[in-house]
Structure 1
Amino acid sequence: MHSYFMCTKRISFSKWTVSDLNLATELWGDKEVTRFIYASGEFTAQDIQRRLQTEIENEKNYGVQYWPIFNIESGEFIGCCGLRPCRDEKLVYEIGCHLHKKYWGKGYASEAVQAVIQYGTSALKATKICLGHHPKNAVPKKLAIKFRFRYIGDEFYEPTGLYHPTYELIL
């Protein structure tokens, strides 16, 4: 059973723990979810363990992670959405969202991103939130436009080996 620290109309946000390897594997073991995150398009079991550990360490060290999110009504695991440190600048974070395909196109990403931006502003006193995305993934671009992020150029993203369109939201 997960405890929740933030909720929206349909989503509950929890925090990754070492006991969540099964959820991490369910999410990041799905090629549909990871095809735009990593150059190979898929995570190995070791990649998944490393990613989970990174999320746990980010929470411990910075008070943020790409938090696991759940459907309030059903309790189903939706995916993750949250923040991580960005560019080694204090109070600057990068936002990200990875959802199970079942939840694509139903407004969950938008709802989660809105909640995370509000959390970043109020709880973390963030001064800026960055957003980057794989050039072939149009959904994050739509979210960037919806939430009034400003395009700042393309930045090299080592995990994919590509230049990703990058945006920022000055708070």
Structure 2
Amino acid sequence: MAESGSSNAPNYFLTTTRVGFRLWTENDIGLASALWGDPEVSRFIDSRGVLNVAEVKQKLNAELQSQAEYGIQYWPIFLKENGEHVGCCGVRPKDISNGVMEFGVHLRRDYWGSGLAAEAGRAAIDYAFAHLHATELFAGHNPQNKASRHLLQKLGFVYIGDEFYPPTGLLHPSYTLRRLTVTT
């Protein structure tokens, strides 16, 4: 069964060959719970491991607030062919005054290893540089998540050191990607 969110018609602001991006809404608690309520997903992003409904709601509210304040979030993504919820991908504020945003992807377990993280990631990166005028993207990953390390390297991010990440209580390998400027 497809999980297309709160309406039947997709309202995508960004698409790739296989996925569409839209904004989170308050009605997306079911989608958010299927993603961040999965202990296999949350173990990489939160030291609490299994997130209960209230904790998932807090994460969803943080995304809604980021969108309201900065016009950015880790947007929910869906398969275009059937509307199934895949996860989320996008940017968050890092150092907005200097054009630095934090890039991230969280996929539902059924889509791990499908190439969708790279596909959505490329689109979100291009969107951040072209439409949001980011000058640099920051990203980090749980040190035990080798797939995320591989993804960030594949997307062109460069390792800059380890940074403490309060939600996991761990030092996360951290990376940067700068917008290329073309001079003629």
Shorter-chain TM band:
over 0.9
**Unpaired runs of at least 5, structure 1:** none
Q: Which moved more, 1:114-123 or 1:31-40?
A: 31-40
- Alignment of structure 1 residues 29-48 onto 2, 5 Å: 29-48=37-56
Q: Counterpart of 2:92 in 1: which secondary structure? A: strand
C-alpha deviation, 1:90, in angstroms: 3.1
Q: Which moved more, 1:102-111 or 1:42-51?
A: 42-51
Q: Which residue pairs with 2:154 in the alignment? A: 146
2:173 aligns with one of 133, 155, 165: 165
Note the aligned Cα RMSD (angstroms).
1.1
* Separation (CA, whole Å) in 2 of partners of 1:161 and 1:86: 18
* Separation (CA, whole Å) in 2 of partners of 1:169 and 1:36: 22
What is the TM-score when the length of structure 1 is the normalising length?
A: 0.96
Change (3 A) 1:154 1:89: farther
- CA deviations on 1:56-103 (whole Å, 9 max, x unpaired) are 010111111000000000110101111001145431111111111111
Q: Which residue pairs with 1:71 in the alignment? A: 79
* Separation (CA, whole Å) in 2 of partners of 1:128 and 1:81: 17
Q: Which residue pairs with 2:19 in the alignment? A: 11
Q: Does 1:105 align with 2:108?
A: no
Q: Which has the larger radius of gyration?
A: 2
- CA deviations on 1:98-142 (whole Å, 9 max, x unpaired) are 111111101000001000000001100100001100000011211
* Separation (CA, whole Å) in 2 of partners of 1:89 and 1:152: 21
Consecutive aligned runs of 4 or more in structure 1 exceeding 2 Å deviation: 87-90
- CA deviations on 1:28-66 (whole Å, 9 max, x unpaired) are 111111111111222122211111011001011111100
**Aligned residue identity for 1:163:** L
C-alpha deviation, 1:145, in angstroms: 1.2
**Unpaired runs of at least 5, structure 2:** 1-6, 180-184
What is the TM-score when the length of structure 2 is the normalising length?
A: 0.90
Q: Counterpart of 1:86 in 2: which secondary structure? A: strand
**Aligned residue identity for 2:67:** E
Aligned residues: 171
Q: Which residue pairs with 1:80 in the alignment? A: 88
* Percentage of matched positions with identical amino acids: 46
Q: Counterpart of 1:39 in 2: which secondary structure? A: coil
* Separation (CA, whole Å) in 1 of partners of 2:28 and 2:71: 18
Q: Does 1:130 align with 2:155?
A: no
Change (3 A) 1:25 1:164: same
